[in-house]
Amino acid sequence: MTAIMHHTLYDGRRIAFRLTPGAGPCLVFLPGYMSDMSGGKATALFAEAEARGRACLLLDYSGCGQSGGDFAEGMLSKWRDEVLALVESYVAGPVLLVGSSMGGWLMLLVAEHLKHRLAGLVGIAPAPDFTRWGYSEAQRAALAAGETIYEDNPYGPEPTPTHPGFFADAECHLRLDGAIGIACPVRLLHGKQDADVPWEISLRLKDALASAEVQVTLVEDGDHRLSRPGDIDRLKAIVAEFYG
């Protein structure tokens, strides 16, 4: 895999990324909440791109992985702008956005700014609006009051924090209750045994999108991560559809 590089934004944020050149569209992978570009799906897609001579961009949001910054200051707006800055600086031509979990929400926000360059979207257990349906009213009230909340983390020893700044910003980016003016081809992949993001969210997203070409694939025994070998093969096959 290619070496990690860093891009410095106007305010000094240093964003870590990996880029392999090749034929387009360039696949841009957007990790989930508190995840980074070292995850299994990201690295599998990057390796596949390298092997097949396709362009691919991975990145760590500020405060995550090998990027600079404090996670407590992270928010969708900042991370969207980081993705757009990297695309503008390093990617020529069409873009294929692949978003996992929260990355599936961020994918929509990025796509709204790249409409003329979109080859397609691939959402893996996409989680748009999770600050609405994913938290209790008590949790939402605490966040709105400026408190940080913590939840059990099934993927690591430390609890998962949600900071009030992230919550306040996210409230400005809710998408599921209105029309989403994205018309490119969209593929959504979701496990029916997902304990974190209900698979019905992908159906709501399908209905909200303006695209006439949205396909939802439900994996009967699939969990949230969808990172088993068979899940990865299915994801690769979906991505391959965009390369003819």
**Per-residue pLDDT at 168:** 98
Instruction: Find the distance separating the first CA and the last CA of the chain, reported in whole Å.
Output: 24
Residues of 25-49 as b/e, b for ≥16 C-beta within 10 angstroms?
A: bbbbbbbbbbbbbebebbbbbbebb
Q: Give per-residue pLDDT as tens, 59-115.
A: 999 999 999 999 999 999 999 999 999 999 999 999 999 999 999 999 999 999 999
**Per-residue pLDDT at 100:** 98
Among 62, 101, 163, 169, which one carries the catalytic annotation? 101
- 202: number of Cβ within 10 Å: 26
Give the span between the Cα atoms of 244 and 240, in whole angstroms.
Answer: 7
The amino acid at residue 182 is I
**Token reading at 208:** 């909200």
Query: 53: left (phi > 0), else alpha (psi -120 to 50), else beta?
Result: left
Among 163, 173, 190, 224, which one carries the catalytic annotation? 224
Alpha helix stretches (DSSP H) within the chain = 40-52, 76-90, 102-111, 130-133, 137-144, 164-170, 200-208, 229-240
Q: Mention every residue, 6+ apart, whose C-beta is less than 8 A from residue 142.
A: 149
Res. 244: pLDDT tops 90:
no
* 7 assigned to active site: no
* 190 assigned to active site: no
Res. 140: pLDDT tops 80:
yes
Res. 50: pLDDT tops 90:
yes
**Per-residue pLDDT at 24:** 86
**Per-residue pLDDT at 212:** 96
Comparing CA positions, the residue from 163, 180, 47, 154 lying closest to residue 101 is: 154
Report all structural domains of the chain as residue ranges with CATH numbers, in order of start. 5-129+181-243 (3.40.50.1820)
Res. 155: pLDDT tops 80:
no
* 224 assigned to active site: yes
